[in-house]
Structure 1
Amino acid sequence: MRTTDALRGLECLDCSELLDPAVAGGRCPDCDGILDPTYDYDAADLSLDAGAVGSMWRYADLLPFPREAAVTLAEGGTPLVPCPGLAESWGVGEVYVKDEGRNPTGTFKDRGQSVAVTAAREHGAEDVALASAGNAGQAAAAYAAAAGLDAHVFLPERAGFTQKAMVEVHGGDLSVVDPVGGDSRIGDAGAAFEAAMEDDWHPVQTFVTPYRHEGKKTMGYEILEQLDW
């Protein structure tokens, strides 16, 4: 499994056990706590990767996996759009909007799925799975397709037509879950995902995979760089 020099391991937020990322891929095997990548920042090369301008993998040394391992569709590098009218109406100096609609499937979910699907491929997985309200599902299907993996996506009935359609456009195995108790909720899809989960499916579900939030944090790095902080 290829990891960056700075990655120390996966630390359980409940019991503080430090686990080998080559072995652990979901929640803590000891206490079922959430795992979080932890880094030795002295070992990181903090110079930016000029070859990855326009991609969140510009910050690969602060991510779990090196750029050469990445499953990427050129996500990240989204612009900060100045909104002077909002700034004036709110009585503040400046307002910017981070335009995450520029990402490959149209949302910031691409950042997290890029890292999560990279982890799945590095683990040798052939299938990934998750429940989603919609956007993460279509992102998972897109990144799984890019990695040559199968995606099993569980969406509630209330998910948008576009999200359902794009899961299938990207070749995902889509399960639309009927409402339980009258109202269609993400929890319905979550329960179906847990019931259907197979041992050889690699989870790319929030609060199961340790990696989705690692991709999302690159929004912060970009904002700092774009504002020249």
Structure 2
Amino acid sequence: MRTFFILYIILWFFQEIPAQSGIADTSPAAANFIENKYILEYNTESFFNTGLANNQIEYLTFDQELLNATIFFSINKLRKKSRKSELKYNSVLDSLSSQYVANNNAYKFKRSSYNIKNISKFLFIEFKKNNNRFSLFSANINILQILKYTNNRRFYYDKTDTSKTYKLYYTPTYKDSDTIGVQIDPHTYKSFSELYLRSVQGYERRKLLSNSFCYVSCNTEVVEHSLDRKKIPFAKVLIVLGGFRIPEIKKK
């Protein structure tokens, strides 16, 4: 009975820790870090009610903060549907993950155990360096196309088109060779987030829905060299989950 009571107190204590309490990022980069205004202003329901996530992703006016927030709220929407508590926003996780996204090229975001180890090592060193209290964390990486492109279909760049941003079209079939191809439309912020969630399967998806984590950061960045006119543009995605391990209680 005594052990159960102590466990209950510990669980209550960690649940009551506010998002910033005792978890301060003292790194130089964090001094200039700006928290996500959409996450601070809205909750999951009110955010999607605004319709902001239904805007198309245009790289000339790309709102990275909005895409990060859309993925954040999409994760919480999925957790709510699965009857899990929503994850909280934390500026420490957000600051560190944004540093990693900005300072590493697209090859570091290809899904491999080697790249995951690199991110985990980076987070572990930063947490230890700044005396942060996160003792449990998990990272998920990906590279996703920002156009609704069907893989392996041929496409071309129409340099004469001045009305569209991306100017990419599917190559017409042989029967319709004398017609203009169908434009490859960009994702909306919402459909890109849904694409990410569909890409997370198996063990990674179970971690996304796990009660072991209470914080999450979502960071993205469009890869500039992928905006070449003959390529399908894509974006780097980094999701970091954070939590705390419950200390073991020795029986007396």
TM-score scaled by length of structure 2: 0.23
- Greater CA radius of gyration, 1 or 2? 2
Give 1 or 2: higher helix fraction. 2
**Structure of higher RCO (CA pairs closer than 8 Å, 6+ residues apart):** 2
